[in-house]
């Protein structure tokens, strides 16, 4: 167990080096979130029809989305890509630890460290200046924290799968580039899931990705009542299990056909 903890710790220290980039990203995200918010305000002023979410709930959703952007499985681990490209990935198999869980732990660190760096100041600003609210009660806050952990697990499992696909497509990182945009829209990052027309919503509900953003964010604002939040967490954990099993299977296949060049 301590070996896995060490992997997470080491990755954390590396990832926390990039403070200037984090600041730039921070300003960009405040700007981005503000634009999104103004667009929604204008839409709400244009129509009197009842909407699936209230404007303040949308505001919470937008700011949480900006704050947790780095937790979203949007990129591959650059070091793993280099490992596959250079053949150093062979060393990974010599370690006295399960390769899948080593990579999973790397993904946990990759999704947590940059998020911590950005989320705290961003949420503080959003709460004070940009119309974000605190959760309606303690129950929502606690369930949100639990669901955020569930979201981290799903995101890490998906990230690990993206990293494993590098074993097949080294140069173009094909799937690793295409998948994030599909995850982006099915997780509610582009538009909150409740706004989609029913047929599209059905598809999204059959996929695991809304567990990363949509469900926890709606638990936060009380759009999903705290009494039903346990279903969200159960669903997240079940999906994590499926994604981990799939990832392990994929990795076993990838490593079996791997040929390392050089001597």
Q: Which is nearer to another protein, 12 or 32 (CB)?
A: 32
State the nearest-atom distance from the C-beta of 74 to another protein, in Å. 10
State the nearest-atom distance from the C-beta of 49 to another protein, in Å. 7
Q: Which residues contact 93 (CB under 8 A, 6 or more apart)?
A: 99, 255
Q: Which is nearer to another protein, 46 or 227 (CB)?
A: 46
Q: Which residues bind another protein (CB under 8 A)?
A: 20-21, 24-25, 27-28, 31-32, 34-35, 38-39, 41-47, 49, 51-52, 171-172, 174, 177-178, 180-182, 184-185, 190-191, 195-197, 200
Separation between Cα atoms, residue 44 and residue 53, nearest integer Å: 11
Q: Which two tokens stand for residue 249?
A: 């299977």
Q: Which is nearer to another protein, 1 or 48 (CB)?
A: 48
- Contact at 8 Å (CB) between 131 and 61? no
Q: Which is nearer to another protein, 188 or 216 (CB)?
A: 188
Separation between Cα atoms, residue 126 and residue 204, nearest integer Å: 28
Separation between Cα atoms, residue 70 and residue 119, nearest integer Å: 9
Tell me which residue has tokens 């296949």.
253
Separation between Cα atoms, residue 198 and residue 166, nearest integer Å: 35
The torsion angle over the Cα atoms of residues 72, 78, 79 and 80, rounded to 10 degrees, is 70
State the nearest-atom distance from the C-beta of 17 to another protein, in Å. 14
CB atoms within 10 A of CB 118: 21
Tell me which residue has tokens 């370690």.
95
Q: Which is nearer to another protein, 25 or 216 (CB)?
A: 25
State the nearest-atom distance from the C-beta of 110 to another protein, in Å. 19
Tell me which residue has tokens 């499926």.
242
Q: Which is nearer to another protein, 70 or 153 (CB)?
A: 70
State the nearest-atom distance from the C-beta of 40 to another protein, in Å. 8
Separation between Cα atoms, residue 49 and residue 2, nearest integer Å: 55
Tell me which residue has tokens 């961003």.
122
Q: Which is nearer to another protein, 50 or 263 (CB)?
A: 50
State the nearest-atom distance from the C-beta of 51 to another protein, in Å. 7
State the nearest-atom distance from the C-beta of 226 to another protein, in Å. 26
């Amino acid at each position: 167990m301590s070996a896995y903890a060490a992997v997470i710790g080491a990755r954390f220290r590396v990832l926390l080096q990039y403070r200037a980039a984090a600041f730039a990203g921070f300003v960009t995200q405040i700007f981005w979130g503000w634009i999104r918010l103004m667009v929604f305000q204008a839409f709400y002023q244009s129509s009197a029809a009842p909407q699936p979410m209230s404007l303040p709930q949308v505001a919470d959703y937008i700011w949480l989305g900006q704050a947790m952007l780095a937790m979203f499985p949007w990129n591959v681990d650059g070091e793993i890509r280099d490992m596959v490209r250079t053949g150093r990935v062979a060393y990974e198999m010599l370690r006295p630890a399960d390769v899948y869980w080593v990579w999973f732990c790397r993904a946990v660190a990759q999704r947590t460290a940059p998020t911590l760096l950005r989320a705290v100041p961003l949420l503080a600003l959003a709460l004070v200046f940009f119309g974000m609210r605190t959760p309606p009660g303690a129950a929502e806050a606690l369930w949100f924290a639990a669901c955020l952990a569930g979201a981290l697990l799903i995101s890490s499992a998906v990230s690990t799968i993206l990293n494993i696909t590098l074993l097949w497509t080294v140069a173009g990182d094909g799937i690793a580039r295409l998948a994030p945009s599909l995850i982006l829209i099915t997780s509610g990052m582009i538009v909150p899931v409740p706004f989609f027309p029913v047929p599209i919503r059905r598809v999204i509900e059959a996929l695991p990705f809304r567990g990363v953003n949509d469900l926890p964010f709606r638990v936060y604002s009380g759009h999903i009542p705290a009494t039903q939040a346990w279903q969200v967490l159960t669903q997240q954990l079940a999906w994590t299990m499926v994604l981990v099993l799939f990832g392990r299977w994929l990795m076993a296949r990838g490593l079996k056909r791997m040929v390392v060049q050089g001597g």
